[in-house]
Structure 1
Amino acid sequence: VRDPAWSPNGTTIGFVTDRGPDTDVDALTFGQSRLALYDLPTGTIELIGGQEGMNYSPQWSPDGTKIGFVSDRNGISNIFVFDLIDHRLYQVTNLSTGVCGIAQGSPAMSWARERDRMLFSAFKRGGWDIYVVERPLDRMVAVANESTEETEPADETGTDNAIAPSEPFTGELAEGPGQANTSDENNGSRYGLPDTTSFAIRGYKVRFSPDMSATGAMYSSNVGIAGNTSVAFSDVLGNHTLFGAASIYGSLSQSDILIGYLNRQHRTNWSIALYQFRNDFLLFVAEEEAGFESQIYRGGQVMLSRPFDRFRRIELGLDAMSINRAVFRQSYYSGQSETSSKGTLYFASPFVAFVADNVLFGSTGPIDGMRARLSVEHAVGDLSYSSATIDARKYFNIRHRYVAAIRAVSGASRGRDPQLYRIGGATTLRGLGYGELTGTNAFMLNTEFRFPLIERLKMGWPLPLHLRNVRGSLFFDIGGAWHADQFRPFTTDGPGVLRIEDAFAAYGFGARLNVGFLILKYDLAQPTDLVSHTEKMRHYFSIGSEF
């Protein structure tokens, strides 16, 4: 039994079943999928007659007198409608590629209850599209009479009917004396049915098999090229997962490495991971020298995660790590370099976080829903600090083609060794260089209006170019980072004139293109203080999805 559908009056359930004369449970032979009706008041099940091929995805008409379904009786899946009053069969679609879902036999159509409108999915040009049929009852074409061997013949007064009346039978097995098995005596030998009593029962053993292996890359005009490789293995139940990722930079001691294990056997998931990653920060040493500080983090994490529902969860974890710090200097004139160690710091950092996420993605980024993360952490050891961060994002889908996106991020760090927040660049605050603003306090607000920029552009000689589904974006970003409490984001220049003081803002335009294996992004940002332009425009080329 599958694809149940309630009738509008709530007294009948239409569903898909393989019961019928072609099904022999003893021989484990099963007929094609057919439509049946379960009458709740009487408890009887009635097979709809005259069903050739495979039939699935039943949907009721708004008045409950007809039932639509998908059938491949002609060799190609199309939509048919069966009239429950006059027992006639009608065809609604006649597609050469067929009506189908993502998987064979999966639901592929829907019939609106309040309006005479039908939706269905079909495969076209490498993907599934949703199509609308307005007033499908006006488009129906009667199907010519066909043989219905599995049903009783129609009565003599129904010679115009294409489908004979269905045969009713009870849904439960009737009690009574046993009946002889009339199935083919050779069925058992033909299908080689095993003796199930000889099966050995063994306990479940965890065996890992590969789930995913991927290589990713990104490029940003203010960061450069970066790439990584990741793999994941799990058991057949999905309760145990091993994962790993690495970005190799010459030697293992200087590379980014992650290995971990995730247990999802119970409602409360838990994970353990070991990691190493490196951060480099540019230092201003002298005009004739270049320098940067390298920080290599090595440590481990233990985390518990418990969901409230499919979209919300709480996380509790502990990080224990070391930070090895070194300063690298190189002379422009002599070419000589020098590396000096700044020692190693050891500390532990417990954290708790609340996460909510019900986002629906489009071709270049989220198009509907919301996602948020509120986290608090406290570090003890050679470093001592307490930090709180919130990241909330909301997406408004407008007529399936336009999206209004808002992202608000704020963080603060306190203690003996407060942590620095760095904002600026293509992925945070456009109009600035990467990490140009730093502070123990930070906030950021990004607003975007996303729209279809180029539906299709095809050029010939001398530049053969074919672009499809290029998305555009109009944005306004504002944010700031500071160390002390004396932060004044805005000021006024006379009555009614608001100007940015300590914060930073920029507006601009962007374009995004999904090329299949990555998303290309371009942004043009104009810094402003809300009164005039404060700096020159900046161009950003980057790879990755929209926020």
Structure 2
Amino acid sequence: MKRYRIAALFIIGLAYVGVNAQETYFGKNKVRYKDFEWSYIQTRHFDIHFYEEAYPTAKFAATVLESSYVEVSKELNYKIQRRVPVFLYNSHNDFQQTNILPSLIGEGTGGFTEVFKNRVVTPFNGSYEDFRHVLHHELTHAMTFDLLYGNAFSALVSRRRLFQMPLWLAEGFAEYSSRHGWDAASDMWVRDATINGYLLPPMYLNGYNAYREGQALVKYIADKYGEKKLADIFRKGKIYLSINKALKKSIGIDQEKLWEEFSREMKRRYWPEIALRQEAEEIGTKLTKARKDGSYFNEKPVFSPEGDKIAMFTDGSDFTEIVLISADDGKILDRLVKSSRNGDLESLHAYVSGISFSPDGTKLVFVAKSHGKESLFFYDLLRNRVYKKKRFDFYNLLSPAWSPDGEKIAFSALKENERDIFVYYPQTDQLDRLMNDRYDDVDPSWYPESDRILFTSDRPHPQSEVVTGEEHEYVTAGAFMPGDFVYGWYNLNEIDLSNREVTAVDVGAGPNTVPTVSPDGSKIAFISGRSGIDNIYVAYTDSDRVYPVTNILSGIDYVSWSPDGKKLAFEAFNQGAFDVFILDEIVPVGDNGTLTPTAFAQGDNSLFTFDQSEESVDSALADVEDEPGEQPMLASLDPDENLSDDQAAASGDQQPFDSTMATPVSTEADSSQTADGKEDDEVITESGIYDEEYVHVSDGRSGDPLDPFMFDVEGDSSDVRKTVVVEEPPSFDSIAPPSSSGDYNIQQYKVKFTPDYVGGGFGYDTFFGLRGQTVFLFSDYLGNHQILVATDLVNTIDQSNVLGYYVNSKRRINYGVGLFHSKNFYLDPADNLFSDRFYGFQVFTSRPFSIFDRLELTASQFFIDREHHEADDTLSNRSSKVTTAEFSYVTDNIIWGLTGPLNGRRAKVTIGSGLNLFDSRDVEFYSAEFDFRQYWHFGGLYSLAFRASGGASNGRTPKLYFLGGTTNWIGNTTLDAKVYEVENLYFADVVTPLRGIDYYSLAGDRYGLINIEFRYPMIDYFAMRFPLALTISRVGGAIFLDMGSAWEGSNFKAGTTHGGLPADSTLGGRGSEKRLLDLKTGFGFGMRANLGFILLRYDIAWSTDFYSVSDKPTFYFSMGADF
């Protein structure tokens, strides 16, 4: 369904209430490329939904969710009070088709949690570690939403809904919990932001910044003030409805003071790194100019076989594209393909995939999403065109690599919930799957003989080996163990195509990823994070020699060899963006092949150092006092005992711990003795009773895999450390546990409607008396079925306004039906009072071909009863029955700016009719309209917009088009009696903008309109203190020219001469000067401001006939986005 589906429900109901409908509606599509038949399993807290062959994935998710729940429950000191529905998609492509979120989902979205129904939605991409992280991250959102807002009803009526949790806290805490405090990726980002000066105050954090810096802020609070303060901040926010008040009450400082302390501590931590490492520009030749040229992602560089060119991805033109650049200076030589323009090439997977040249350098192969399917695209560089597209029936094709013999393409792909390496033979169309296991296998690279492939995998590897007891197991601090499955620690492996034997490649401690074999096969370049920063290392294939060749401050994400083996192209994170560099000299760096590890790599994960005195924290907290009526911090986890909207919440004293798996716990009371005579760790609940639920194996940050779960039980003087398992609420006891074999009872999903939105109000006026309004929006948990009911009730039903709509978007063809009734009163220009009772029904459907284009069909039956309330015999009542139908084709691939479209194209062609099915002889017409819009982006906020539209209508009562004014103009409008005729009030179109010309001043059954508008940044920042405190940033400006006309039949005369002579007259003199006649023109300039919750426009326009200009301009104050 289209991404504006919910809004469209309201629009449909109001579309025919009058000629006030001024805008053409476009929008991209959410395409259902496949039907999903859902089932679900239940754990104690979760209903986990899945489809097709994803039952094993659902079982894995059950383990992760339940174990992560205990961790988050301890961090928040809270137990959820309602079950959490979880929806798992088999791939990101399937995930993008979900209707749970009506808007389009980008490639960078790894999952989401919907606040009202607390639904967790996430895809599986082949990496179990990514999957674990996202599940934990989204569960954290679900639990904080439950803590803050309660169930759906309380979220609607409670004052706590007024608390707007800042993004840095929401995402920061989710990352803090799911990343177990801190991780290398966030360390890289905050280090780069601190050194390069783009660390932002929390008040201004948004987008990706909110995740990484938010995690750092949350970690800083936990390290300095204690982790229990995190839960306290959430509870204080629910009480005081302000993050500043919550921080002040909890830790004694507001956001501004927090930023001051935090930024100082980050400088203290990261500035010393400058002396230990180098910027990417210091060690290599920079080929791209991220940020300066408008790009942020310049990725996956690969040398051509000649070595003089590099192919890479870039987003410098707003759309992700593949370009060829010079390997010497980075000059763009050719732009090959762009994504996000049509359904054939919806996306290029630039974040995670790569590009490969054929051995002769005449062709490229890359992966793209085409009409919802993953495909290999073969591009002919000599003819500049895609010459072959191979579509596969599996997911997540990544990183194609052309073999040196030119006969094979290796790539990784997700099939049957396993991501493995595949080899495709283009000449024979043969496909081989090289392995079939649950390990994550990616990044294939060929050896020169084309008989072996080097790749990255999280399968067991000697470099991940540690001793656990008498036997060796493949377990590390970075690998996680649900049951007997080890995953999450990546290293290098190779596979022999002749026998499919996989061999571990020993290149030292990891994680080691993105390997690439040198052209002569003697060396391997790869990315390793062993020092805490991702750097390039080189290993020799004929010896155990391994050494780093870079030591940069930020991090490197991708590397490839030059054809002569003397250079490396790499992609590095650089000042908040990604740039491409050339490493001209491949020489060892560091101390005897070892780089100085970061504080994070050395195990120093604290973002606060008590280098002055712990008294500073004590003094800060000394000012924090409980407000009157607040209860002290309690040990109980029961929110019903400790929480209310007017009371502070509980927080326990337990330390944070990590979780990744769950195994049954023995209920035997006795315990064996260890060699030193001490008892084994006991497993208890908070009430001291053994529980057969979940015990968690951590990533063992301190060396002991169970250490993060251990703490001294209050009042227990023994040396036995206890693993606490949170008791489950009684309401969850009815859920049957899995069988002894670990299997769950699989149930079929059934449609059940629950509210998405409930709103209303009431009022009193002297005309209608008491009246009330309500809006109800219901949907099922998958969002495939929606019901809207809206009412505006007055003293009698026939005076009330009611509409109800049902929309079904389960399959590719979407459809809906609706009923509506309204009663409207009008005063015509002669002050005659009349009313229209307007009611009927609609049926509508749409069929998207891709994200960008679709067909629409709408059929409506309208009944209009007009009643005059004046004692005037010349005015007679009338009833009309009108049947209409519209058939439209819509295409839209635009990129949005701050106040309107910035780049791309959109168009709509519509054929409509008013049919005479009841022989009412009232309204009968046929019409055709088009609307074409093109946008050019020149960089920054500079763009040019062009629009051409037109329409024509025929029939016994042709449809009229009114031109003039601007959309959503806030001002007085003078209408003549013609506008109030039934045919015009409900079936005419108002076409805007035609600025400089009054509303409705042009009317006819034909129209044409051209708009040209140059948009530019006008005011970067404006602040006023008196008489009104007002701050506005990024105000845009516009210079425009509008030209249009409306006319009857063929009665159109574009221009004339001043003296009445024909426009093409060759007579000289003053009387022969040309001017426009029926073609009206306006020009002017304006300002636009995006205030976040509303878009405001202010335009000043003059009319002209190109002979003279109007003496006074027309001023337009309006709302809404630019055309």
CA distances 1:388-409 after superposition (whole Å, capped 9, x unpaired): 1112211111124211111222
Letter in 1 for 2:841: G
Letter in 2 for 1:441: R
The CA deviation at 1:267 is 1.8
Counterpart-to-counterpart distance in 1, 2:1024 and 2:1007: 46
For 1:510, what is the secondary structure of its paired residue? Answer: strand
Alignment CA distance shift 1:357-1:213 (3 Å): farther
Contact 2:525 2:559 in 1 (8 A): no
Amino acid at match of 1:80: D
2:509 to 24, 32, 50: 50
How far apart in 2 are the matches of 1:187 and 1:27?
A: 7
Report Cα offsets for 1:97-128 as digits up to 9, x if no partner: xx9xxxxxxxx978899996857599xxxxxx
Task: Provide the secondary structure at the position in 2 that maps to 1:191.
Answer: coil
Measured in 2, the distance between the counterparts of 1:506 and 1:131 equals: 43
Corresponding residue for residue 396 of structure 1: 936
* CA–CA distance in structure 2, aligned partners of residues 498 and 59 of structure 1: 72
Matched with 1:27 is: 483
What is the match of residue 80 of structure 1? Answer: 534
Q: Secondary structure at the match of 1:194?
A: coil
What does residue 343 of structure 1 align with?
A: 878
Is 1:422 aligned with 2:868?
no
Distance 2:774 2:496 in 1: 56
Q: Assess if the C-alpha contact under 8 Å between 1:352 and 1:376 holds in 2.
A: yes
TM-score, normalised via structure 2 length: 0.36
Residues 4 and 16 in structure 1, CA contact (< 8 A), matched pair in contact too: no
Q: Are residues 1:540 and 2:1116 paired?
A: yes
Q: Percent identity, aligned pairs only?
A: 29
Match of 2:838 in 1: 297
* TM-aligned CA distance change 1:340 to 1:39, over 3 Å: farther
Match of 1:260 in 2: 805
Alignment of 1:328-407 (within 5 A): 342-381=877-916, 382=920, 383-407=923-947
Distance 1:424 1:89, change over 3 A: same
Structure 1 equivalent of residue 1084 of structure 2: 508
Higher RCO, 1 vs 2 (CA within 8 Å, ≥6 residues apart)? 2
1:456 aligns with 2:1021: yes
Residue 874 (structure 2) pairs with residue 322 (structure 1): no
Which 10-residue stretch deviates more, 305-314 or 454-463? 454-463
Name the CA distance, whole Å, in 2 between partners of 1:455 and 1:361: 19
1-side partners of 2:1029 and 2:913: how far apart? Answer: 57
Residue 1043 of structure 2 corresponds to residue 478 of structure 1? yes
**2:293 aligned residue:** none
Structure 1: which amino acid aligns with 2:750?
Answer: K
Deviation for aligned residue 1:480: 1.2
Q: CA deviation at 1:417?
A: 1.7
The whole-number CA distance in structure 2 between the counterparts of 1:131 and 1:4 is 16
For 1:286-314, what per-residue CA distance to the aligned partner results, in whole angstroms no more than 9, with x for missing partners?
A: xxxx3476545322111221122221111
Per-residue CA deviation, residues 381-433 of structure 1 (Å, 9 max, x unaligned), is 33211111112211111124211111222112211122221221122111122
CA distance in 2, matches of 1:417, 1:387: 11
| Secondary structure of residue in 2 paired with 1:526 | strand
Distance 2:1005 2:839 in 1: 23
Would the alpha carbon gap of residues 93 and 162 (structure 1) be closer, same or farther in structure 2, given more than 3 Å must change?
A: closer
Aligned AA (1:194): P
1:425–1:324 distance in 2 versus 1, CA, 3 Å: farther
CA distance in 2, matches of 1:72, 1:252: 73
Structure 1 residue 453: Cα displacement: 0.7
Which secondary structure state, in structure 2, belongs to the residue aligned with residue 354 of structure 1?
A: strand
Q: Aligned-pair distance for 1:350?
A: 2.3
Gaps of 5+ in 2: 1-125, 128-350, 358-400, 404-409, 411-441, 444-454, 461-473, 540-545, 563-567, 597-660, 666-692, 696-736, 761-772, 968-991, 1059-1064, 1067-1071
Supply the AA of the counterpart residue of 2:483: A
1:482-533: per-residue Cα shift (whole Å, max 9, x none)?
A: 2242111233565596521112110000110111101111011110112220
Of Structure 1 and Structure 2, the greater strand share is in 1
Taking structure 1 as reference, are residues 210 and 135 closer, same or farther at Cα in structure 2, changes over 3 Å only? farther
SS at match of 1:540: strand
1:280 deviation in Å?
7.5
Distance in structure 2 (CA, Å) of the matches to 1:373 and 1:162? 59
**Residues 436-461 of structure 1 deviation map (CA, whole Å, 9 limit, x = unaligned):** 22222222111111111112234556
Which residue of the partner structure matches residue 528 of structure 1? 1104
Residue aligning to 1:191: 694
Please state how far the C-alpha of 1:467 moved relative to its aligned partner: 2.5
Alpha carbons of 1:257 and 1:445: their partners in 2 closer, same or farther (altered >3 Å)? farther
Aligned ranges for residues 124-135 of structure 1 at < 5 Å?
131-133=577-579, 135=581
Equivalent AA in structure 1 for residue 1103 of structure 2: P
Q: Provide closer, same or farther for how the CA distance between residues 160 and 197 of structure 1 changes in structure 2, counting only shifts above 3 A.
A: closer
Paired residue type of 1:200: N
Task: Name which of structure 1's ranges 229-238 and 523-532 shifts more when overlaid on structure 2.
Answer: 229-238
Contact 1:270/1:302 (8 A) holds in 2: yes
For these two proteins, the number of residue pairs brought into alignment is 463
Alignment of 1:307 with 2:872, yes or no, is no
Residue 736 of structure 2 corresponds to residue 200 of structure 1? no
Structure 2 CA distance for aligned equivalents of residues 144 and 504 of structure 1 = 73
Q: Say which of 583, 593, 598 aligns to 1:160.
A: 593
- Aligned equivalents of 2:1003, 2:527: Cα separation in 1: 62
* Counterpart contact for 1:80–1:90, Cα < 8 Å: no
Aligned runs of 1:7-18 on 2, under 5 Å?
Answer: 8=356, 10=401, 13-14=442-443, 18=458
Distance in 1 between residues matched to 2:874 and 2:745, nearest whole Å: 65
More displaced 10-residue stretch of structure 1: 469-478 or 272-281:
272-281
Kindly indicate whether the alpha-carbon contact (under 8 Å) linking 1:444 and 1:478 is maintained by their aligned counterparts in 2.
Answer: yes
39-48 or 373-382: which moved more? Answer: 39-48
CA distance in 1, matches of 2:952, 2:942: 34
SS at match of 1:408: strand
- The CA deviation string for residues 218-258 of structure 1, in whole angstroms up to 9 with x for no partner, is xxxxxxxxxx9976443333322234566789987567654
d(CA) in 2 for partners of 1:390 and 1:88? 61
Q: CA RMSD for the aligned pairs?
A: 4.6
- The answer on whether the counterparts of 2:864 and 2:880 sit within 8 Å (CA) in structure 1 is yes
- Alpha-carbon distance in structure 2 between the residues aligned to 1:234 and 1:35: 45
Which amino acid is the alignment partner of residue 938 of structure 2? I
- The secondary structure found in structure 2 opposite 1:306 is strand
Match of 2:828 in 1: 283
Which sections of structure 1, spanning at least 5 residues, go unmatched? 100-107, 123-129, 146-158, 164-184, 216-227, 330-335
TM-score, reference length from structure 1: 0.70
Q: Give secondary structure in 1 for the equivalent of 2:752.
A: coil
Amino acid at match of 2:509: G
Aligned residue among 426, 436, 445 for 2:1001: 436
Q: 1:209 to 1:537 in 2, by over 3 A?
A: same
> What does residue 394 of structure 2 align with?
none
Answer yes or no: is the 8 Å Cα contact 1:364–1:514 preserved in 2. yes
Tell me whether 190-199 or 520-529 shows the greater mean CA deviation. 190-199
1:1-28 Cα shifts (integer Å, max 9, x gaps): 3575447562575287654433566617
Mapped pair 1:273 → 2:808: no
Distance 1:112 1:400 in 2: 32
